[in-house]
Amino acid sequence: MLLQVEGLKMYYEILGKGLVHAVDDVFFSLDKGETLGVVGESGCGKSSLAISILRLLPINGKILGGRVLLDGVDILNMDLEKFRKEIRWKRISIVFQGAMNALNPVLRVGDQIAEAIMLHSDVSKKEAMKRVISLLEMVGIDGSRAKGYPFEFSGGMRQRVMIAMALALNPQILIADEPTTALDVIVQAQILKLIKNIQRRLELSVILISHDISMVSELSDKLAIMYAGQIVELGDMVDVYLNPLHPYTKALLSSVPSIKMKRRLLKSIPGAPPNLLQPPKGCRFHPRCPFKADLCEEEEPEFVSVSKDHFVRCHRFEELRGVEFK
Amino acid sequence: MSVGGGGLLKYMGKRAVDRIAVVLSSLTLQFLLLRVLPYYVLGIDPSFFFLNPNLTEAQRELIRKQFGLDESLASQFVKYVLSLFTGNMGFSFYTRRPVFSELMERLPNTVLLLGTATVLTIIIGLIVGIIAVSKRGTRFDASIIGSSIFVSAFPHFYVGLLLLLIFGFYLRWFPIAGTISRPPPRDPVIYVADLLRHMALPLITLLITGIGGFALFIRNLFLTQLGEDYVLTARAKGLNEREVMVRHVLRNVLAPVINILALEFPGIISGAVIVETVFSWYGVGRWLFQAATQFDYPVVQAVLFIQVALTVVSLYIADLIIALIDPRVRLR
């Protein structure tokens, strides 16, 4: 296994209010060349999960438990200086919502990419710029644009620049955190296609984070559904899509229209996501779950294995097999 | 389509026109407020304030003529603008001495007090602000915010009077007024020590009221930038905190900092009106206050003109620096 996340726990400390349970007991693994889609609504901890893996937490973000193994080595407890030099960007890189501000507005894009190259490898500025130009051309941008500033690029092109930058050091894992949010639909499709092509060509492992389950499932081999800081269901993409076990997964799928299936009314999930300062007792989804039993209010369900690659965090998934969300 | 030097030249040309327009319109406004409004509209004859009331009408007329008050407004305006630009600031109505030489007497005191205060405010404010932002969200940060707001809410004159009362009057640690003891000490070392003792309270007043606001400004500036995504990108690339600060954040906070510094700079010359007045400091700020209350137009005009001209020049330099740092600015 290339990457294994085991019981990762990351809380934000809010002065005078307590702890925000942003990432709570998260498990997943990622193989070489595999794409994991992480889906959940805003504030469920998806981005917190991404920045926890790269240890890019704000001052009040505290990792309180768990392990992250990269090729069997725990990178969570690695010396930060070593982690910064050997892991960040070199082995795990990240693409943020680039359409807005992920690039420094006052530096030329070529210099920003070259900076990453020169930081991690011993090359001259000239050689680095050569690599920059070939990277830009790989993502479909003319090499001469390396001299341009971010404000001279459109949102979609900026995202291409971000992707080129993320690939600068041939990392093993690319985390794409909402890579197409704030882009229009056509550009979205182009960016996704680009990620897909590059991923195949470079045998890259990708963690694709989004709130858009249908977009994610187009690219992913595996799907992780996140709710209130926890992964509630994890499995092979087709398996999760066709046989969802967790009520929340079922709810998400029934809120998305499909052009292939029978015409039906879309369903919404009643209620709102919980305040992660005080997550609900028991199962975190129980206040919104139509199937909740007494047990769900009392006891937190375990993340259990259903089959070899399919995991779910629900007390009643057995009884609810095949039952639709309503 | 990258932005070249032509864009910069064009931008700076446009800014120059803007700035000259600012100087001219503020000169016109000053002329209207100081020359036209009191004398021609409100009917206040400045000669009442400084002439012996027993003078004859002919003598008064002669004196008004001496000051050019008998000429038409238009020719007064032309003379006024020309003399300011040629550095001839005329004669004080009150002391009849050249404004320029009176200015030169006071300027060293003001530059000493305000220069020290400004430099210290900037350095201490910068350090406090950066410490606060690097410990953001902690109790330390919260207490810096609280105390900064607290002290910067105090008016200058109140802090000044309070310090005078406690350290000057009750404790008698510092003199309560003036720039130097009378007669001034002969020994140069004692002279400097005496000057510093006189300077202590006004300096502390300026620091107390200035540092808090500047530290908060710096803290918030950095905080806004540190929350930007490009900072996260820079960290994710593997840069250390110092590299992130120096290569990425600093360039983005520089523009507003340079603007603030450009606005602070003219104050070093034109002085602090309230603090200098409270402490009877022999400087430009107090001179401006006295001149304004005595209808001593040439002095008021000279000080205001210097302030406007310096502000415009230092802002223009700031514009140039900012345009060099931030390519987006040149396209405006």
CB B201 within 8 A of CB B164: yes
pLDDT single digits (tens) A63-120: 999 999 999 999 999 999 999 999 999 999 999 876 568 999 999 999 999 999 999 9
Structure tokens at B251: 């360039």
Nearest C-alpha in B relative to A114: B237
Q: What is the DSSP string of B74-142?
A: HHHHHHHHHHHHTT---B-TTT-SBHHHHHHHHHHHHHHHHHHHHHHHHHHHHHHHHHHHHTTTSHHHH
pLDDT single digits (tens) A132-188: 999 999 999 999 999 999 999 998 999 999 999 999 999 999 999 999 887 888 888
Closest Cβ opposite residue B137 in set A60, A96, A108: A60
A210 touches chain B (CB under 8 A): no
Question: What is the pLDDT at residue A225?
Answer: 96
CA B198 to chain centre: 21
Check whether B89 has a pLDDT greater than 70. yes
Task: Give the C-alpha separation, B317 to B274, whole Å.
Answer: 28
pLDDT single digits (tens) B219-243: 999 999 988 889 999 999 999 988 9
Alpha-carbon distance values, B298 to B31, B40, B109, B305 (Å): 11, 17, 21, 10
Closest Cβ opposite residue A93 in set B1, B236, B248: B236
User: How many CA atoms, within 13 angstroms, populate the side-chain half-sphere of residue B202?
Assistant: 34
Task: Give the C-alpha separation, A212 to A209, whole Å.
Answer: 9
A19 touches chain B (CB under 8 A): no
Structure tokens at A39: 């889906």
Question: What is the pLDDT at residue B3?
Answer: 46
Check whether B66 has a pLDDT greater than 80. no
pLDDT single digits (tens) B121-155: 999 999 999 889 888 778 889 999 999 999 888 88
Mutation target for B interface from A17, A57, A84: give the one with most B CBs within 10 A. A84
Check whether A200 has a pLDDT greater than 70. yes
- What would the mean pLDDT of B4-29 be, rounded to a whole number? 85
Residue A172's SS3 state is coil
Inspect the interface and report whether the beta carbons of A115 and B235 lie closer than 8 Å.
Answer: no
Contacts of A203 (CB under 8 A, 6+ apart): A32, A33
DSSP class of A87: T
B200 touches chain A (CB under 8 A): no
Sort B237 into a burial class: Cβ within 10 Å, 0-12 / 13-18 / 19+.
Answer: buried
User: Comparing C-alpha atoms, which of A4, A22, A32, A15 is closest to residue A206?
Assistant: A32
- What would the mean pLDDT of B277-293 be, rounded to a whole number? 91
B4 touches chain A (CB under 8 A): no
Question: What is the pLDDT at residue B1?
Answer: 38
State the total domains in chain B: 1
Question: What is the pLDDT at residue B6?
Answer: 63
Q: DSSP strand E in A31-107: where?
A: 35-39, 61-70, 73-74, 92-95
Buried-exposed string A180-203: b where 16+ CB fall within 10 A, e elsewhere:
bbebeeebbebbbebbeebbeeee
User: Comparing C-alpha atoms, which of B208, B215, B209, B318 is closest to residue B263?
Assistant: B318
A106 touches chain B (CB under 8 A): yes
Domains and CATH numbers, chain A: 3-91+171-320 (3.40.50.300)
Contacts of A159 in chain B (CB under 8 A): none
Question: What is the pLDDT at residue A254?
Answer: 86
Question: What is the pLDDT at residue A207?
Answer: 96
Residue A157's SS3 state is helix
Structural domain boundaries enclosing B146: 5-331
C-alpha R_g of chain A: 20
Question: What is the pLDDT at residue B139?
Answer: 87
> How many CB pairs (< 8 A) connect A and B?
87
Task: Give the C-alpha separation, B15 to B8, whole Å.
Answer: 10
Closest Cβ opposite residue A94 in set B228, B230, B236: B236
Average pLDDT score, chain B: 86
Task: Give the C-alpha separation, A164 to A139, whole Å.
Answer: 6
Contacts of A137 (CB under 8 A, 6+ apart): A143
Task: Give the C-alpha separation, A300 to A21, whole Å.
Answer: 14
CB atoms within 10 A of CB B155: 10
Reported ipTM: the value is: 0.89
Closest Cβ opposite residue A84 in set B142, B228, B238: B238
- For strands A230-236 and A311-312, give the pairing: antiparallel
Task: Give the C-alpha separation, A26 to A64, whole Å.
Answer: 12
Alpha-carbon distance values, A6 to A235, A276, A283, B130 (Å): 15, 21, 20, 37
Contacts of A90 in chain B (CB under 8 A): 238
Question: What is the pLDDT at residue A140?
Answer: 92
**A221 to chain B, closest Cα gap in Å:** 25
pLDDT single digits (tens) B206-219: 999 899 999 999 99
CB atoms within 10 A of CB B162: 13
Inspect the interface and report whether the beta carbons of A119 and B238 lie closer than 8 Å.
Answer: yes
Check whether B267 has a pLDDT greater than 90. no
Q: What confidence tier does A210 reach under pLDDT thresholds 50, 70, 90?
A: very high
pLDDT single digits (tens) A39-49: 998 889 999 99
Question: What is the pLDDT at residue A286?
Answer: 94
pLDDT single digits (tens) A263-303: 777 888 888 889 999 999 999 999 999 999 999 999 999 99
Model pTM greater than 0.80?
A: no
Angle between helices B99-134 and B188-226 (to 10 degrees): 50
User: Comparing C-alpha atoms, which of A117, A95, A107, A113 is closest to residue A178?
Assistant: A95
Helices (H), ranges, chain A: 46-53, 80-86, 109-120, 125-138, 155-166, 185-202, 213-219, 237-242, 247-254, 294-298, 317-320
Alpha-carbon distance values, A226 to A219, A285, B156 (Å): 17, 11, 56
Inspect the interface and report whether the beta carbons of A149 and B236 lie closer than 8 Å.
Answer: no
User: Comparing C-alpha atoms, which of A39, A95, A41 is closest to residue A217?
Assistant: A39
Check whether B67 has a pLDDT greater than 70. no
CATH number, domain of B85, equals: 1.10.3720.10
Question: What is the pLDDT at residue B2?
Answer: 42
More confident residue, A232 or A99: A232
CB B21 within 8 A of CB B308: no
Closest Cβ opposite residue B232 in set A56, A89, A149: A56
CA B244 to chain centre: 34
Q: What is the percent of chain B where pLDDT is above 90?
A: 36
